[in-house]
């Protein structure tokens, strides 16, 4: 093998090692690193002016939103660090194809990759609402009912929530990946 081939191989391996992977930017990373990850994530594909928030209207009645935030998932914080991402969340709205947990799970895998998906799937369920066998709880909107769960993985915490209409059809679902340190505030908010 020639020296040029070896040098090229070393550069190719180094480029792969440092190339942004789906699970590369996660809560706990800096805002700049997260912006770079979003820009290079093949699933998110941000527009030219999108930095930490992405809005996609796929077709009338189908929408995808992704947001990385310096605020905790509960929104309650005395002094947020403006340099560290604490929560990343995405939501799906689809009036043509009802949303379910499997669809949100697959979206999590597509955005973050298999490692984070496994952390989520193997995480302990800390809170599920409503309790099994009970009808979803009403929201401020009397036409919507919520079903959700909070999980704690080895690396991160996860909150999945699906909104159902009066007929039991779900057109809106969301999921958050956030720092485990923010779990107590979210649990207190969901279990007053």
Q: Summarize pLDDT for 98-141 with one digit per residue, the tens.
A: 899 999 999 999 999 999 999 999 999 999 988 655 555 556 67
Mean per-residue pLDDT, 1-23: 39
Which residue reads 């009066």 in tokens? 166
Does an H or E element contain 112, and which?
helix 101-112
Q: What is the pTM of this model?
A: 0.82
97 has a pLDDT exceeding 80: yes
| Contact call for residues 184 and 177 (beta carbons, < 8 A) | no
- Between 144 and 94, whose confidence is greater? 94
Q: Please state, as a whole number, how many other Cβ atoms lie within 10 Å of the Cβ of residue 13.
A: 10
Through-space distance between the first and last CA atoms of the chain, rounded to whole angstroms: 67
Where does the pLDDT of residue 5 fall: very low under 50, low under 70, confident under 90, or very high at 90 and above? very low
Helix axis angle, 101-112 relative to 114-121, nearest 10°?
Answer: 140
Distance CA 170, CA 172 (A): 6
């Amino acid at each position: 093998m020639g020296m040029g081939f070896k040098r090229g191989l070393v550069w190719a391996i180094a480029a792969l090692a440092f190339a942004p992977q789906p699970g590369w930017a996660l809560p706990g990373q800096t805002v700049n690193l997260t912006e770079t990850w979003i820009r290079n994530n093949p699933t998110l594909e941000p527009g030219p002016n999108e930095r930490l928030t992405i809005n996609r209207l796929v077709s009338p009645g189908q929408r995808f939103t992704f947001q990385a935030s310096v605020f905790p998932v509960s929104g309650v914080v005395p002094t947020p660090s403006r340099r560290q991402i604490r929560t990343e969340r995405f939501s799906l709205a689809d009036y043509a194809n009802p949303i379910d947990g499997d669809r949100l799970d697959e979206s999590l895998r597509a955005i973050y990759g298999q490692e984070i998906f496994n952390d989520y799937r193997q995480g302990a369920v800390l809170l599920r609402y409503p309790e099994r066998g009970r009808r979803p709880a009403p929201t401020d909107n009397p036409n919507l009912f919520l079903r959700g769960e909070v999980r704690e993985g080895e690396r991160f915490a996860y909150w999945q929530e699906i909104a159902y209409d009066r007929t039991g059809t779900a057109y809106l679902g969301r999921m958050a990946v956030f720092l485990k340190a923010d779990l107590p505030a979210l649990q207190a908010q969901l279990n007053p």
